[in-house]
Chain A
Amino acid sequence: MDWVTVALYASIVFMGWLNIYAVTYDQNAEISIFSLQLNSGRQLLFIAGAIIIIMGILIMDMRFYETFGYVIYGFIMFLLLLVPIIGKEVGGNKAWLGVGSFGVQPSEFAKFATALAVAKYMGSVGFRMDQLRNQVILFIMIGVPMLLILLQKDTGTALVFTVFTVVYFREGMSPMLIIMGIIAAIIFILTLLVDEKYLFIGIGVILVSAIMLGRKKLKRIGLLTAAAVLVCGVIVSVDYVVNNVLKPHQQNRVKALINPDADPLGFGWNVTQSKIAIGSGGFTGKGFLKGTQTKFDFVPEQSTDFIFCTIGEEHGWLGSLFIMSLFIGLMLRVIFLAERQKNRFARVYGYAVACIFFFHFAINIGMTIGLFPVIGIPLPFFSYGGSGLWGFTILLFILLKLDIHRSQVLQRM
């Protein structure tokens, strides 16, 4: 058992629990941190549940996870398929499956299931990353849960699966895909920021200078021109997508990213209030339970997606530094664990864990400080919610279980 990881995990969960209490704390009402009336009390139940899950994972035979990788994947996909049909709606998203008052979000469990399946596939004998067929299958494996989750209108969680490309990159996939993805994102943002016609002029200038500076071969000129035309096409279609395909609330989130001050009471509200809360914390913060912004509901979705505001407001920059160090420490430790695995299945799985954590970490904190659009995904182990906590716990402890038995597996690199 890697106790460093366990310690990091426990610290983050504990800090999260304290901050969930801070959010709902009311100085006029004396309610205990353990009361089930409060999110903090319920979160404690979820933590207890997580401990039971951890024991289950550790008791299970290590070979179970690889052997049943596809089965688990298939089962979760089936649940995801059921959600739009028999799921119940909570907070605008139909993402819950449940009996009575007890409900879970299958999308939270889809992450570890997909990680297992992808790892099993990549770990199978004779797998070669450079084969197009394998790459297509890998993208289908992440495409299916993305599509099913998009059907639940949960764009944020769907986007998490794009992070598997980083795992593929680690295992030998060309970085071009990621680079192109980043370029596409930049073009996307530019399209929203800058008038189309200036973009076209800019692309024209780059194209002409690229042709003039390099060798003047017909094939090269043709390729460059084709690329430029492609980019222009993307710009036109992005514009079209933003204005015609994205739903108004999604459009607003993108617009709020670019200029939250344009309408601070309207679509910029979340980001503006979140930045006010964090910014008002100063260097050392206002002190535990002393925050005003996060207590009085100025920031929406306090306990879940915007939990980081509480850290920023009550514990300031130093507190933020501490929490971020815990996360970065955990992620680097997970990569360390992944790298010391003796088979590809375990290593790929480890990287998937690290990358999923990273994606959540980056997008969640990035959105609270106005660097990313408001995409509703939780901060791992920190945000309030049972499904999220359990999903991430399963993700992490399967890796720890594999790590315990790393020397028992055959070398199969």
Chain B
Amino acid sequence: MNEGRREIIQIVFVLVAVVFLIKLFFIQVIDSRYKQLADSNAILPEVDYPVRGLIKDRNGKLIVYNTPEFDLKIIHKEVKNFDSTRFCEVFSKTPQELRLLFKELKARREYSSVKPTIFLTKLSTLDFAKIQDNIDEFPGFYIQARSTRAYTAKAGANAIGYVSEISKTKLDRDKTGIYKQGDYIGQSGIEAYYEEFLRGQRGVRFKLRNVDGVEKGSYNNGKIDTLSIPGQDITTTLDFDLQEYGEYLMNGKAGSIIAIEPSSGEILAMVSGPSYDPNLLTGKNYSSNFVLISNDTLKPLFNRPLMAQYRPGSIFKIAQAMVALQEKVITPETRFRCDRSVINCHGPHTNEDLRGAITHSCNPYFHAALRRMLNKGVSNNPFDDTRIGLEEWNKHIRSFGLGKPLGIDLPNEKGGLVPSPAYYDRAYGGRPWKFSNIYSIAIGEGENLVVPLQMANFAATIANKGYYIVPHLVKGIGEAGKPLPKYTEKHYTTIDSTYFRVAADAMQAVVESGTGSYRGKLQDLIVCGKTGSVQNEPRPDHSVFIAYAPKENPKIAVSVYVEFSGQGARAAASIATLMIEKYLYGATKRPQIEEYVLRGKFLN
């Protein structure tokens, strides 16, 4: 009667084991989820923060370094016999603030009573000394050091940029997975552009931890741990003495100064006025200072050399002259009558050749020259003819690095505007346009837009007789000490180099006998320059000057914009030539001009 029951029982035994093995196969072999879960359970990656690279000026002078900053951490479970009155005394807190701190601590998502959690951040070295002496009184509290940026000088803030905690949005966009919440990242300037070199490489130590988060030694005997690699030091192209001098001159003014070494494209100084003290955006008071600086109506965080787009004004006449010569619509000897019926002019001159027209900044001359360029009679239709001419003109002008961002090693560079036929088609909404509609571009007004950096680069291009190297702020990265490869390439303009001699002669004349002679002329040094006064009706003109020196073998090219300060011959020409003197001689021989600039009363 009990036949087969033995077998049934045996089959059930084996069947259960088979079911178990199948289930085990699923969770052990097929489903990889458990492996990851196990790792996140037991392996705690501990970051070994690298030291951020230092930043030096072109002469090896230290500009940016690291200084320790201290955080107070708490392991709540280890806190014993907590004396809140004493704590408030040592840490300079009120009882209310302390209560708030504990409330915030517990509200944090990552809070755990057994793990170290940040309690107070950014204690200064001053606090630290006091706290270190008394920390023993507060079991469960620990001091953790991390490094923060410090600046040797108050200058160059916009070029160098600042470092702060990575924002939520940036963190979300970061695809590299390098950054974690609370990490520091370069936010602007060189700090942002060279972030990947400066930040170094974080090391990770894998620690084992038990269910309470308590460390239980290193994972796999530390075989897969990595040490942090310090960030690479960076040598900037800036001459910090010149930079500081430029900021000294720009004090109380809005505008920018850019000085470039023409042969290398290295930026010697880049002043944005008004600026701020970089030390404000580091350490303990970062947040409150940042709010202060970013809400300032003078916009000190706005990097004018790259971001402020102006009409170029009369300095643009040099470019016009080059293009006209290249297109062979004029020769250096060509004369145009100073016909002031279409376009106004200034100064007593009537019938100049090209050099005279540049020296005296004759508006009708360039109006006439541009007319020849744009209307060559290739087409009988004056509209089509202008279109063909403008297309060619645009191509030449753009070859000077205008109309598009140059590609400096800083973020947020603007490109300016060089109008093209397509641009006017849009602007005129499809209605026809011809030379008489657009002639104000002849003298650098109208639709043209440039940023000061482009004008400095333009001066450098003339100094180089027809080519430029993209201006840049870093000449050496790390041990190799080389700039990025793109900053060694020469970019040639579409203009023959012989024509640049004409420009050089004319610009020499501007400084020696023309518009710039009063405040731009230097003893024993041939400076080539061009003034510009950019119209801002009804407010005063922007004062503009570009220059390079010496004429042969130029060492420095400068552009200066001073907003709402009248003629280019005044503020801008003074500052530009003072910068040249400072760079070439170490100091000015014209204290009265320096005095004039510092007083800043350019309009009367």
Contacts and interface: CB of A to CB of B under 8 A. Distances in A.
Contact of A279 (B14, B16, B28): B28
A268 to B, nearest CB: 13
A276 interface: yes
B10 to A, nearest CB: 6
A280 B35 contact: yes
A324 B28 CA distance: 15
B604 interface: no
Contacts of A263: none
Interface stretch (B1-9, B261-269, B273-281, B343-351): B1-9
Interface in B111-129: none
A102 to B, nearest CB: 30
Interface in A270-305: 273, 275-283, 292-293, 295-298
B559 to A, nearest CB: 63
B582 interface: no
Given A282-B29, A292-B43, A335 B24 contact: no
A331 interface: yes
B150 interface: no
Contacts of B229: none
A366 interface: yes
A36 interface: no
B28 A366 contact: no
B212 to A, nearest CB: 8
Interface in A171-205: 171-172
A316 B30 CA distance: 12
Contacts of A313: 38
A100 B41 CA distance: 39
Given A320-B21, A328-B17, A332-B10, A279 B2 contact: no
Interface residues of A, number: 47
B293 interface: no
Interface in A55-86: none
Nearest to B217: A28
Contacts of A358: 13, 16
A77 B19 CA distance: 36
A354 B37 CA distance: 37
Nearest to A328: B17
Contact of B38 (A26, A293, A355): A293
Nearest to A27: B217
B23 interface: yes
Interface string A348-361: 00010011001000
B135 interface: no
Interface in B353-405: none
Contacts of A277: 38
A119 interface: no
Contact of A275 (B6, B19, B27): B27
B35 to A, nearest CB: 5
Interface residue tally of chain B, by bracket? 35 or more
A166 interface: yes
Name the residue among B21, B31, B34, B219 with the largest chain A CB count within 10 angstroms.
B34
A108 interface: no
Contact of B27 (A27, A273, A332, A369): A369
B37 A328 contact: no
A321 interface: yes
Interface string A152-175: 000000000000001001111000
Given A295-B216, A298-B42, A369 B17 contact: no
B208 interface: yes
Contacts of B1: 172
A269 B17 CA distance: 25
Contacts of A321: 21
A327 interface: yes
B20 A327 contact: no
B10 A275 contact: no
B24 to A, nearest CB: 5
B6 A365 contact: no
Interface string B285-315: 0000000000000000000000000000000
B23 A279 contact: no
A295 B20 CA distance: 24
A213 B405 CA distance: 86
16 contacts: A27-B216, A27-B217, A170-B2, A278-B28, A280-B37, A293-B42, A297-B212, A298-B211, A321-B21, A324-B21, A332-B10, A335-B10, A339-B6, A354-B9, A354-B13, A371-B20
Interface of B: 1-2, 5-6, 9-10, 13-14, 16-17, 19-21, 23-25, 27-29, 31, 33-35, 37-39, 41-43, 208-212, 216-217, 219
Closest 6 CB pairs of A and B: A279-B34, A280-B38, A296-B210, A292-B42, A279-B27, A297-B211
Given A276-B41, A296-B210, A298-B41, 5 more contacts: A273-B41, A293-B38, A320-B24, A327-B17, A351-B9
